[in-house]
Structure 1
Amino acid sequence: MKKYQNYINGEWIDAKSGKTFTSINPANNDDIIAEFAYSDESDINEAVDAAFEKRLMWKNTPAPLRADVFYKVTAKLEERKETFKDVIVRETGKTNVEAMGEVMRAINVIRFMAGEATRLAGETLPSQQEGVIGYTKRVPHGVVGIITPWNFPLGLAASKTTPALVSGNTVVFKPASTTPLISVMYVQLLEECGLPKGVLNFITGPGKPAGDVLGKHEKVKAVSFTGSTNVGTSLGKVVTARGAKMQAEMGGKNPFVILPDADLDLAVEHIILSGFGECGQRCTATSRVILHKDIAAEVTSKLVEATSKITVGNPADSNVNMGAFIDENQVKNFEYYVEAGKKEGAELLIGGNRILSKGRDKGYFVEPTIFTNVSSDMKIAQEEIFGPLLAIIEVDSFEEALKVSNDIDYGLSSSIYTNDMNKAFNYLENVESGVSHVNMPSIYSEPHFPFGGMKCTTIGPREQGKAGVQFYSETRTLYLKP
Structure 2
Amino acid sequence: MTTTPYTQVKPYANEPFTNFTLEENKQAIQAAIAKVKTELGRNYPLTIGGEKIETEVKITSINPGNVDEVIGYVSKADQQLAEQAMQAALLTFETWKKVPARERAEYLFQAAKLMRERKHEFSALMMLESGKNYVEADVDTAEAIDFLEFYAREAIRLSKVEETLPLTKIPGEDNHVTYIPLGVGIVIPPWNFPLAICVGMTAAAVVSGNTVLLKPASTTPVIAHKFMALMEEVGLPAGVINFIPGSGAEVGDYLTTHPKTRFISFTGSKEVGLRINKLAADTVPGQIWIKRVIAEMGGKDGIVVDETADLEAAATAIVAAAFGFQGQKCSAGSRAIIVESVYDQVAERVTELTKQLQVGPQEDNFAAGPVIDKTSYERILDYIEVGKQEGTLLAGGDKAEGNGYYIQPTVFGDVGGKARIMQEEIFGPVLALAKAKDWQEAIAMYNDTEFGLTGSYFSTDEARIEVALETVHCGNLYINRKCTGALVGVHPFGGFNMSGTDSKAGGYDYLMLFSQAKLTSRKM
Shorter-normalised TM-score: what interval?
A: over 0.9
Indicate whether 1:27 and 2:65 are aligned.
yes
1:292 matched to 2:339? The reply is: yes
Letter in 2 for 1:212: D
Distance 1:390 1:125 in 2: 51
**Letter in structure 1 aligned against 2:518:** R
Once residues 62 and 281 of structure 1 are traced to their aligned partners in structure 2, the CA distance between those partners, rounded to angstroms, is 39
1:273-321 Cα offsets, whole Å, 9 max, x none, are 1100100000000011111111111111111111111011011113x11
Tell me how large the CA RMSD over aligned residues is. Answer: 1.3
Aligned to 2:374: 328
Aligned to 2:47: 7
What are the Cα deviations for residues 201-226 of structure 1, in whole angstroms up to 9, with x where unaligned? 01112222232122111111011001
Q: Tell me which of 72, 84, 102 is aligned to 1:46.
A: 84
Structure 1, unpaired ranges of 5+: none
Please give the alpha-carbon distance, in whole angstroms, between the structure 2 residues aligned to 1:422 and 1:126: 41
304-313 vs 264-273, greater mean Cα deviation: 264-273
2:496 counterpart letter in structure 1: M
State which drifts further: 116-125 or 219-228: 116-125
Cα offset, 1:459, TM superposition: 2.9
Amino acid at match of 1:113: Y
Aligned to 1:347: 392
Deviation at residue 33 of structure 1 after TM alignment? 1.3
2-structure distance, mates of 1:422, 1:58: 52
Question: Does residue 472 of structure 1 match 2:472?
Answer: no
Work out whether residues 493 and 502 of structure 2, in 8 Å CA contact, stay in contact via their aligned partners in 1. no
Deviation at 1:460, TM superposition (A): 6.3
Tell me whether 1:105 sits opposite 2:152 in the alignment: no
The 2-side partners of 1:368 and 1:333 are apart by 15
User: Hey, what does 1:95 align to over in structure 2?
Assistant: 133
Note if 1:302 corresponds to 2:355. no
Cα displacement string for residues 344-398 of structure 1 (whole angstroms, at most 9, x for unaligned residues): 3x11111110113xxx0x2000000000110011100000000111110001111
- TM-score normalised by length of structure 1: 0.96
Instruction: Answer yes or no: is the 8 Å Cα contact 1:278–1:323 preserved in 2.
Output: yes
Shift, 1:69, TM fit: 0.6
Rounded Cα–Cα distance in structure 2 between residues aligned with 1:330 and 1:7: 29
Q: Which residue pairs with 2:33 in the alignment?
A: none
Q: In structure 2, what residue type is equivalent to 1:226?
A: T
**How far 1:21 moved relative to its partner?**
2.3
Q: How does 1:408-419 map to 2 (within 5 A)?
A: 408-419=449-460
Opposite residue 7 of structure 1, the aligned amino acid is T
Deviation at 1:56, TM superposition (A): 2.0
Query: Secondary structure in 2 aligned to 1:459?
Result: coil
Shift of the 343–275 alpha-carbon distance from structure 1 to 2, 3 Å rule, reads: same
Count of residues in Structure 1 that have an aligned counterpart in Structure 2:
473
Residue 433 (structure 2) aligns with: 392
2:362 partner SS: coil
1:187 pairs with 209, 215, 228, which one? Answer: 228
- Of residues 417, 423, 432, the one that matches 1:382 is 423
Alignment of 1:456-471 (within 5 A): 456-459=498-501, 461-471=503-513
Residues 393-402 or 263-272, more deviating: 263-272
Where does 1:157-196 land on structure 2 (aligned, <5 Å)?
157-196=198-237
Q: State the identity as a percent.
A: 36
> Equivalent residue of 2:363, what SS?
coil
Normalised by the length of structure 2, the TM-score is 0.88
- Residues 246 and 460 in structure 1, CA contact (< 8 A), matched pair in contact too: no
Provide the secondary structure at the position in 1 that maps to 2:191: coil
Give the match for residue 115 of structure 1: 153
Matched with 1:59 is 97
Contact 1:25/1:31 (CA < 8 Å) preserved in 2? yes
- My pick for the range that moved more, 191-200 or 421-430, is 421-430
Would you say the 8 A contact 2:246–2:252 is kept in 1? no
Distance 1:147 1:464 in 2: 17
C-alpha separation between the residues in 2 aligned to 1:12 and 1:408? 46
Rounded to whole Å, the distance in 1 between the matches of 2:298 and 2:424 is 9
Distance in 2 separating the partners of 1:276 and 1:380? 15
Q: Distance in 2 between matches of 1:464 and 1:22?
A: 32
Cα offset for 1:421? 1.6
Pick which of 119-128 and 3-12 moved more.
119-128
